[in-house]
Structure 1
Amino acid sequence: MAEDSRLTKTMTGAQDDPALRDELSVFGLSDTEIDTYLALLSLGEAPTRAVAEEADVTQRAVYGIAERLERRGLVRVKEHASPTTISALPPKEAIANLSSRLEALTPSLEERFEQTTTEAPEIQIIKSRETVLKRLRNALSEAETEALVAIPDHVYPEIEAELRAAVDRGVLVFLLLGETVDPDDDTRDFTGVADVVRSWDASIPFLYTVDNEAAMIGDPHVLSMQHNDKEAVTISQPHLTSSVLGMYLSAYWPVSTIRHVTEPDSLPASYDWFREAVLQAFLHWEAGHDFWADIVTESGAELSGKVSDVRQAFVEPSTNDFTLETSLHLETDDGEVSVGGPGAFIEDYRAEAVTLRFE
């Protein structure tokens, strides 16, 4: 392919070439993985210490990065050598490996494309504050797995009961409050209202998304008490809802202030919603617990292993390498594997169900 040829040629360029780094990131490589891979292209075969110095990462990190690069078909790790050495595969061979993985997705993607209909997405414009508030309350009351809500702080008392009821039903709830007078005020108790609450003193667009199936987004002042001409738009197409959710989690969520984080669940605990499993795994990880995960994947394969890493940006500190990365890493009998949720394409597996447990 022309893209492959162009990238193969540029892979012999300088390590700081921004165009080269951008093209490698398209294949899902993080900044540290790109640094390490480019270092290996310059060094040829080298021990881990030399790679660490060239890439400006820790030697310990090099081992994990090398394993991930090897799984992508970019490098070869000689673990039986003393010391362990790593070498980059020839660029043409590496690009061929990446291309084959992308081409393997073609049948599934084409099948999904052919199943789409010509029906227009169900989108409605709403101008009434009462209707917007009623839709929000109904959405929270009908939520089964997850709800993300972003509202002006003054609206919070009007939906607090629905938020509590959703949490009581086991719904994963993320709440973002805008226009807060004091975003650092820690005297308010949000226990039982949401799993994670964040706030910001700025005005933010009003939003809710529920179960990745329905969403509403609008001007922040659509919920103002006084009459105005502001609007909100409802969306009932899953792919559009996911896009709206992703925009908020990447643009508004990280810059707000943490106000409340739920306590870790007692283990063992099982989860059908992957983001909830990742959040709970991170809470146990931060608490210093050693714990294991049993995962049923989309393909039906079953994975079990000690949780070795959790990538997320729901709570601080963020541990993801790139925007919206949400994954679990397990130490299995076959080595470390990465697991993402539905639609994941960088991780090794996609999870259907997750059970977290102590050994």
Structure 2
Amino acid sequence: MDGDQLVEILEDAGLSPYQADAFVTLLGLGSASATDIAQASDVPDPRIYDVLRGLEEKGYIETYEQDSLHARAHDPADVLADLRSRANRFETAADEIEDRWSRPDIEEHKVSIVKRLDTVLTRADELIRSATNQVQIGLTPAQFDDLSDALRTAHESGVDVKVCLFPMTTSKPDIPSAEVLASTCTEARYRTLPSPFVALVDRSWTCFSPHGDSTNEYGVIVNDRTHTYVFHWYFLTCLWEIHDVIYSARDTDPPITYVDLRQCLQDVEPLLGDGAKIEATVHGFETDTGREITRRGTITDVTYAGHATNDVQETPLFHLAGKASLTLETDDGTYTVGGWGAMLEDYEATRITIESID
């Protein structure tokens, strides 16, 4: 290691540039007068006395009088101990930074910004194939063709797949046949206006990219329940609720399965108003422990933040945008059941199956 490198390291250890330069010079001289140290280093003559006194206070040198002020390097044991201690602290800090960076609670929330739509579609293909509960996807017919095999794989695995198709431009595209839709999704709707590509998988993953006429081409891939919940409402309000059904495999007679509590609530409320007895099975999680549960019982009530609408058969979606839940009476107690992101209820439902309606 040359002298310049040693000076830089001593500066990192807390010495000023002049102090580091003077100390390295004094190590080479052994002992010398203040004037000689100044001449052999880059320290200006008027500053040398203050620089030497500072080094003495830090324990690097000792000064003495011999016709004029002289200095010699102090026993390096203390200096070496300090430098090694600093090195250990840097090593410990490096380990701590690495540990914090790699902790699971940080890694569980990943956000990737990518430059190409192809990257978004490739990741969406992978996530859809591994889905276990639900897929909500808005895409053009061309993108549907690219992802149809993945959608078919998910659909055949029992995943609830909702597809909203829309054109690349304002002209109406060729819609997949009913046979193709039957093999790839649970329900499909059509929106007449171009829209961004979006895919939501198992309430955790979001894949998003602006539509083709956007100024910039980019994509966002996020693994986060809160972020995905926001896009879930975008999907419901902009891509789903008000658009025409072009295919549906949903049963009108029990058993009827829902992956969205609010859709279930819309269908169940009029039946309860007519005095029907509704038997249901709820699959989901306890909100306080996260433990997976399956409960069968009777739906006895529905509650939501909006106003009841006695003059229409189905409660509008915007009335269900706040707190919404149903009450399930079982052999071992009565429980409240919430939907995606439930906190106040006993359970967060991932699937609700209406077993019978009497």
TM-score normalised by the chain length of structure 2? 0.51
SS at match of 1:143: coil
State how far apart, in whole Å, the 2-side matches of 1:167 and 1:324 are.
30
Aligned ranges 1:1-359 → 2 under 5 Å? 121-179=109-167, 181-182=171-172, 188-189=178-179, 190-221=181-212, 230-264=217-251, 275=259, 291-295=278-282, 298=286, 304-306=297-299, 319-320=316-317, 321-323=319-321, 327-330=325-328, 339-345=337-343, 350-351=348-349, 354=352, 356-358=354-356
Distance 1:295 1:231, change over 3 A: closer
Tell me the CA shift for residue 132 of structure 1.
2.6
Q: Percent identity?
A: 21
State how far apart, in whole Å, the 2-side matches of 1:184 and 1:286 are.
37
Q: Which runs of 4+ in 1 moved over 6 A?
A: 183-187, 280-289, 331-337
State how far apart, in whole Å, the 2-side matches of 1:332 and 1:319 are.
29
Is the Cα–Cα contact under 8 Å of residues 129 and 150 in structure 2 kept in the other structure?
yes
Residue deviations 1:132-162 (CA, integer Å, cap 9, x gap) = 3222211211111111111123322222222
Residue deviations 1:184-206 (CA, integer Å, cap 9, x gap) = 98974522322221111111111
Quick one: which amino acid aligns to residue 235 of structure 2?
Y
Paired residues, what number?
234
- Bigger-Rg structure (1/2): 2
State how far apart, in whole Å, the 1-side matches of 2:322 and 2:244 are.
18
State how far apart, in whole Å, the 2-side matches of 1:343 and 1:133 are.
26
State how far apart, in whole Å, the 1-side matches of 2:333 and 2:217 are.
54
SS at match of 1:220: coil
Residue deviations 1:287-337 (CA, integer Å, cap 9, x gap) = 9985312447726796722465598xxxx9555423276643557899997
Residue deviations 1:71-92 (CA, integer Å, cap 9, x gap) = xxxxxxxxxxxxxxxxxxxxxx
Distance 1:182 1:283, change over 3 A: farther
Residue 81 (structure 1) aligns with: none
State how far apart, in whole Å, the 1-side matches of 2:126 and 2:294 are.
37
Gaps of 5+ in 2: 1-102, 305-312
State how far apart, in whole Å, the 2-side matches of 1:329 and 1:323 are.
18
State how far apart, in whole Å, the 1-side matches of 2:109 and 2:299 are.
42
SS at match of 1:252: helix
State how far apart, in whole Å, the 2-side matches of 1:330 and 1:184 are.
44
Quick one: which amino acid aligns to residue 238 of structure 1?
R
Residue deviations 1:235-284 (CA, integer Å, cap 9, x gap) = 12222222222332234333432222222287568x7xx72576578678
Gaps of 5+ in 1: 1-114
Is the Cα–Cα contact under 8 Å of residues 278 and 310 in structure 1 kept in the other structure?
no
Is the Cα–Cα contact under 8 Å of residues 250 and 324 in structure 1 kept in the other structure?
no
Tell me the CA shift for residue 116 of structure 1.
9.8
Distance 1:231 1:184, change over 3 A: closer
Is the Cα–Cα contact under 8 Å of residues 186 and 259 in structure 1 kept in the other structure?
no
